[in-house]
Every structure is written in structure tokens, then in C-alpha cells.
Structure 1
Amino acid sequence: MGQLNLYELAKRAKKEEIAREQILELFQPKIKKTLLQTAPHHREDVEQELSIKLLNVITMYDLDSAVGFWEFHEMTQKRKKDAKRVVE
């Protein structure tokens, strides 16, 4: 099996622990970089809290409600038009 994208991993993570572990691995570089902004004596606790929060978000997120690219594009274009009307 090839490497899955984040969307596919998130779908699988609802039921599969291995997918949740893969997502945590995927986000480890970002978590480690973020920890550099934290006092050294708090980093281990903060890393655990971030991992728990990430797992909660993954399991609670409704993938079916996510907006597709073209829907997002249309929404932003409409907002731009509405903003121009307010200015005029």
C-alpha cells in the first residue's frame, strides 16, 4: 500500500489506531518546532497535551462537512464581491 494523504489517514483514523499513529508521526516535526517556543521544563508536558489534542480533533472532526476546493474558491469570491459593495 502506498503512502496515504492526510485526508485518507483522517478517514481511517476514525477506526484504526495505526492511522492515528501515522498522523501523529506526520505532525511530529511541527510539534517539535512549536515546542521550541516553550520553556524547556514544560516541553514534555506540552508535547503530550498537543498529541492528545491532535488525536481528539482527528476523531471528532466531521470529514463530510469539509468544504472542497471549488466550494471554498466560490465562497472567497463571493466575500470579495460583498466587501467591494460595502466599500462602494
Structure 2
Amino acid sequence: MNNLYQLMTQEKNRTHNIQLIIELFEPKIRKSFLQTNPLDREDLSQEIKIKLFESIKSYDVNSTPGFFEFKEMMQKTG
């Protein structure tokens, strides 16, 4: 099974990859629904999946800093 990083670094336009990424988040989504009104859960689920889809399409893995770059950024700001 592919992990999240592998799925994000592969071609993001593949519908199959986007579906797999959303499925990886499904347990967290369901757990979060325990705090919501049962009548709103289906609508919320659809909205969350739309936002995930949009985020996946716009996210650029290559622009994410590595550990040492992140550490340097934190030292400059703090």
C-alpha cells in the first residue's frame, strides 16, 4: 500500500490517487463526526472531501522545506 507522501509525489491528476488519499483521511473524518449533529454528517462529509480534493490538487510537495530548511526558518523567526 502506498503512503500519503508517495501518493502526493506521484501524478496528482490520477483520480485513483486522489481517491486513495481521501480514503486515508476517512477514519479521522468519521471520528470527528462523533462531535457533530448526526443530521449534518453527510453534508459535512461531502464538504470535507471537496476541500481535501482542492487541497490535493493545489499542494506542491516540492515546495515543502526539508528538516534542516525548516529548522533554519524557525531559528530566524524565533
TM-score of the superposed pair, with normalisation by structure 1: 0.78
Misfit runs of 4+, over 2 Å: 77-80
Question: What TM-score does the superposition give when structure 2 sets the normalisation length?
Answer: 0.86
Give ranges in structure 2 of 5+ residues lacking alignment. none
Query: How far apart, in 2, do the equivalents of 1:5 and 1:56 lie?
Result: 19
Shift of 1:12: 2.5
Relative contact order higher in (CA < 8 Å, ≥ 6 apart): 2
User: What is the alpha-carbon distance in structure 1 between the residues aligned to residue 11 and residue 22 of structure 2?
Assistant: 11
Amino acid at match of 2:13: K
Runs of 5+ consecutive residues of structure 1 not aligned to the other structure: 81-88
Write the mapping of 1:18-57 to structure 2, written as runs, cut at 5 A: 18-57=16-55
Bigger radius of gyration, 1 or 2?
A: 1
The AA in structure 2 aligned to 1:67 is P
Q: Percent of counterpart pairs with the same letter?
A: 47
